[in-house]
Chain A
Amino acid sequence: MNAHLIIDASYFAAAFLFIYGLKRMSSPVTARSGIQVAGIGMAVAILGSFLYAFGVSEEVKPHLLVNVGLAVVALVLGLGWAWRSGKVVPMTSMPQMVAIYNGLGGGAAALIAAVELLAGHTSAAIELAVTIVGALIGSISFSGSVIAWAKLDGRINKTWRIAGQQVINGAVMLATLAVGAYVAYAAHAQGGQVPTALVIVFFAGALVFGVLMTMPIGGADMPVVISLYNAFTGLAVGMEGFVLQNPALMIAGMVVGSAGTLLTLLMAKAMNRSVSNVIFSNFGATGDEAQGEIKGSMKPAEAGDAAINMRYASKVIIAPGYGLAVAQAQHKLFEFVKLLQDAGVEVKFAIHPVAGRMPGHMNVLLAEAGVPYDIIFDMEDINGEFKEADVALVIGANDTVNPAARTNKSSPIYGMPILNVDQAKQAYVIKRGQGKGYSGVENELFFADNTNLVYGDAQKVMVAMIQAVKSLEGGGH
């Protein structure tokens, strides 16, 4: 029996199933089967990898039983913990869960590099260089993702900034690279033997750099960073795949590396920022710049009046933001939408690319409430329709509907594409209070003549709106 033939075949199958699965995931109709296809690929590859036990060298044989046992235990524990935590996490906390799983993957890639280095498996220059670079990227992804998780989960609230931070970051990076280069050089010169103490210093430096790099970044920018670390982990996995001569890791890692990089760029673009801007500058720090005078005043409206107005409109467009999900109001919102639809009102959802905490996060939150995806539209597809809409309803969104992004050059959000809510005949904004958005910018929409503000918790407002429309129908049907 040739174990290696079966292992290679399983990896080939896995690589095919991953790519085919991701392809299916790129359309909402086939998406669910896509992840299942990729899941089969993963199962095949994991089972295949245990066949390594049949081809180990003589010096490994005394350890084989223990090693295989440890592998099974680690696999069961890791899968079990992740399965449980993934099942119970609420949809609003999804971004930080993705961050932590991603960080663990990066950590695993770094640990593979650590084993390869400490075991002295290779002395070839290219392999050593790739091992070191992969270890560096994987370690940064690990510690950075943990910080990103802690921030999004509210465990770290401070954005930690000190003077000369970029100089310190640069120095740590250079020092880590220098140590890494020396480790590779020493291993090359001594036939694979590495200076253990320096390997530890190298990993410590890489981990510290990941922390330093992530600490100054604010919560609003975190999705871009998570996506970036996702790409990092992919690259690290691909590189360690090369070191292990494992084509499945190489292909899967590099596919994710490039896909993740593109996704990061798309996200940054949607927020009108460059990736380097997100990482190297402090967005919140420029908040109190001069803003143009805003004319008009904020006009309050009763929830019931707003609801009845929408009930007799012919077209309503809803612009939801993260505040909707925070208030857990998406189920009530959909109930209200169904009432409007029963009354013959055309209702559409308009989703800004960065609504929620990640691009597409709002779609997930609406989908959770049962809103069908064919009444949900991307910004570019629906922005032209606002001027035909009788009512635009804004719930828990702020910066993404601020017309200042179009007109006010001194505004920090100038140039960001926004939903054209201000072009609707009437706009209602459901808001908890008179606060500002993430960017700290005053919203000109709230002061416009055709805008009324409905103050209150989004869920309570939705309940009031549902009651108002129901009482109109004369107590039922």
Chain B
Amino acid sequence: MDVTTTITGFVALYIFMLAAFTGYEIIGRVPAILHTPLMSGSNFVHGIVVVGATYALINATSVLEEAIGFIGVLFGAANAGGGYVVTERMLEMFKPSDKKKA
């Protein structure tokens, strides 16, 4: 069974278009109080770049590619990890009145 996906031309454009509308719709309805956590949250989501960097590093065939790929994974992992921790810390603090304790 060959399940290798190839995404070319218009299929890529369809994906980009639908994803763009999705992002627009999600942010468009958000109250201003969540703008900072959401900016941080979307910052976390593009940390998925670490996956692409991992792919590039695993398929590297020279020392130069390995070095660049290594830094890429390092950066991407920092993006994902930092984005997650910071967003979680912010959101953890949002509590309604009835749960307040000192």
Chain A residues proximal to chain B, CB less than 8 Å: 2, 4-5, 8, 11, 14, 18-19, 21-23, 25-29, 31-32, 34-36, 38-39, 42, 45-46, 48-50, 52-53, 56-57, 59-60, 63-64, 66-68, 70-71, 73-83, 85-87, 89, 91, 94-95, 97-98, 100-102, 104-105, 107-109, 111-112, 114-116, 118-119, 126, 226-227, 230, 233-234, 237-238, 240-242, 244-260, 262-263, 266-267, 270, 351, 353, 356, 358-361, 363-364, 367-368, 370, 372-376, 378-379
Contacts and interface: CB of A to CB of B under 8 A. Distances in A.
A46 B49 CA distance: 10
Interface string B9-24: 1001001100111111
B69 A111 contact: yes
A32 B37 CA distance: 10
A251 B18 CA distance: 8
A245 to B, nearest CB: 6
Contacts of A251: 15, 19
Interface in B27-75: 27-62, 64-66, 68-75
Interface residues of B, number: 89
Contact of B47 (A64, A105, A244, A373): A105
Contacts of A64: 58
Given A79-B80, A254-B19, A254-B23, A247 B40 contact: no
Contact of A259 (B4, B27, B93): B27
Interface of B: 1, 3-7, 9, 12, 15-16, 19-24, 26-62, 64-66, 68-97, 99-100, 102
B78 to A, nearest CB: 4
A227 to B, nearest CB: 6
Given A25-B37, A25-B91, A254-B16, A14 B48 contact: yes
B33 A28 contact: yes
Contacts of B99: 372
B90 to A, nearest CB: 5
Contact of B3 (A4, A29, A85): A4
Q: In the A-B complex, list the 4 residue pairs whose CB atoms are closest, starting with the nearest.
A: A78-B77, A86-B85, A82-B82, A82-B81
Given A79-B77, A364-B37, A255 B94 contact: no
B39 A86 contact: no
Contact of A360 (B34, B48, B65, B84): B34
A73 B77 CA distance: 11
Question: Taking each of B48, B56, B65, which has the highest tally of chain A beta carbons within 10 Å of its own beta carbon?
Answer: B48
A1 to B, nearest CB: 12
Contacts of B62: 119
B53 A4 contact: no
Nearest to B20: A258
Question: Taking each of A8, A76, A254, which has the highest tally of chain B beta carbons within 10 Å of its own beta carbon?
Answer: A254
Contact of B69 (A39, A70, A370): A70
Contacts of A76: 77
A22 B86 contact: no
Contacts of B1: 2, 5
Contacts of A241: 52
Question: Taking each of B20, B40, B78, B81, which has the highest tally of chain A beta carbons within 10 Å of its own beta carbon?
Answer: B78
A266 B61 CA distance: 45
Contacts of A25: 34, 37-38, 41, 87, 91
A254 B38 CA distance: 15
Given A254-B23, A367-B95, A373-B33, A104 B15 contact: no
Nearest to B33: A363
Question: Taking each of B70, B79, B97, which has the highest tally of chain A beta carbons within 10 Å of its own beta carbon?
Answer: B79
Contact of A258 (B21, B53, B60): B21
A31 B91 contact: yes
10 contacts: A38-B45, A52-B55, A68-B58, A82-B79, A102-B79, A111-B75, A115-B65, A237-B49, A242-B12, A363-B36
A111 B26 contact: no
Contacts of A373: 33, 94-96
A351 B47 CA distance: 30
B51 to A, nearest CB: 4
Nearest to B13: A242
A259 B82 contact: no
Given A52-B55, A233-B46, A38 B41 contact: yes
B32 A359 contact: yes
